Structure 1
């Protein structure tokens, strides 16, 4: 059974992924019961992050995580520095860890189940990771959504605003953090969502947003059921990219 993980930002999810088996963590098989693995040093997998190719393609076409969500079921795979462990992420809130064998073919063994056969088999080259029938593309940062579409400098009513890769928001009255929604599994919405907040407070304000050329247009978001069901309201402000 997959273990639910509530992820504050996309940049916080990679190396915290776990999967719950019928055993408790204290009864997890030790290293002697896991299938031995080897990793070729020339594989290029060390410290790499790979995202579902169809998710990325849809995101690049639409700039909308909401529209790309249909490809988020198996959305991301990351590898540690030694490339002997992989973490897989489903829907940006569930994950599992695997031991990696990168010999003649790429094999992923579930670390919680001592089985002689891999759970995933595939291949990898410089640009594409393939596991079963799913293709992944390499990205250069964990926070790929923020970096590609959000990080940068803007103006609002002549005032400078800056969004940074670490989710800092500079120059916006009343807010100094931002979080782009990527997990829409349990939320019914007709528009993409962003949370603006304060570092010293748990309170956030959710807005709907759309890209309009160089502008990001923000809308009131009206919750019918907090965190579960809502709909877009009226336009409230715009940020123009410099």
Structure 2
């Protein structure tokens, strides 16, 4: 029986419950495992991370995980160093592990349900992976959203702000960590969301944001039902990429 659910947040996948294995492309603790992929070879499956190609294309075009969520059903696959185990993620909060057989074709067998036939069959060629009808593209790390859109230096009101990997944030009064929202399955919002927080505290503050040219514009976010429903309020501040 499948049992693992993944919560995707800035490089950490938290395993907790289950999801049926049959997924459509258009709709993404027992233990806690961190997956870091600093460098990925140009070919091969070992120690690699793959993202639904349509999700990735939409993210790159819109810079909005909220707009890309329609392709987050089967959103990500990662392989261990030996490429004999794969973790598949749905909607950034559910997933399961599979045993991998890579011969004439790539086959993924459910780790928790012993079956004679694979649940996914596909192939891999360079930077493209295909499983069933879903195509995936290779990315550099689990933190691909942060790496593509956020990591870098900015200026705001005369201050230099640095957004780093692993949730690190510097140059922002009152905050030194950040978490970009990618899971919008249970939250109704009209704007993308980010949390800012402190390492020494569990408390965070949620802001709405959008990319506008070379700027990131941040908005007050008004919760109508905490964690479930909210909407953007007035513009609060901007960061300009250096």
TM-score (norm 2): 0.87
Who is 1:222 aligned against? Answer: 222
| Cα separation, 2, equivalents of 1:92 and 1:61 | 20
| Cα separation, 1, equivalents of 2:4 and 2:228 | 17
Who is 1:189 aligned against? Answer: 189
Task: Tell me the SS of whatever aligns to 1:194.
Answer: strand
Q: Is the 8 A contact 1:17 1:89 kept in 2?
A: no
Who is 2:159 aligned against? Answer: 159
Structure 1 residues 103-132: Cα deviation after superposition (integer angstroms, max 9, x where no partner): 000000001111000000000010110000
Who is 2:135 aligned against? Answer: 135
Who is 1:55 aligned against? Answer: 55
1:108-127 correspondence to structure 2 within 5 Å = 108-127=108-127
1:200-239 correspondence to structure 2 within 5 Å = 200-239=200-239
More strand by proportion, 1 or 2? 2
Alpha-carbon RMSD across the aligned residues, in angstroms, is 1.9
Structure 2's unaligned 5+ residue stretches are: 20-29, 31-42
Cα pair distance change 1:85/1:19, threshold 3 Å? farther
Q: Is the 8 A contact 1:216 1:240 kept in 2?
A: yes
More helix by proportion, 1 or 2? 1
Moved over 3 A (4+): 1-6, 16-21
Superposition deviation, residue 57 in structure 1 = 0.4
Cα pair distance change 1:58/1:231, threshold 3 Å? same
Q: How many residues align?
A: 221
Superposition deviation, residue 5 in structure 1 = 3.9
Task: Tell me the SS of whatever aligns to 1:70.
Answer: helix
Q: Is the 8 A contact 2:5 2:18 kept in 1?
A: no
| Cα separation, 1, equivalents of 2:6 and 2:235 | 29
Structure 1 residues 163-189: Cα deviation after superposition (integer angstroms, max 9, x where no partner): 001111101000000000000000000
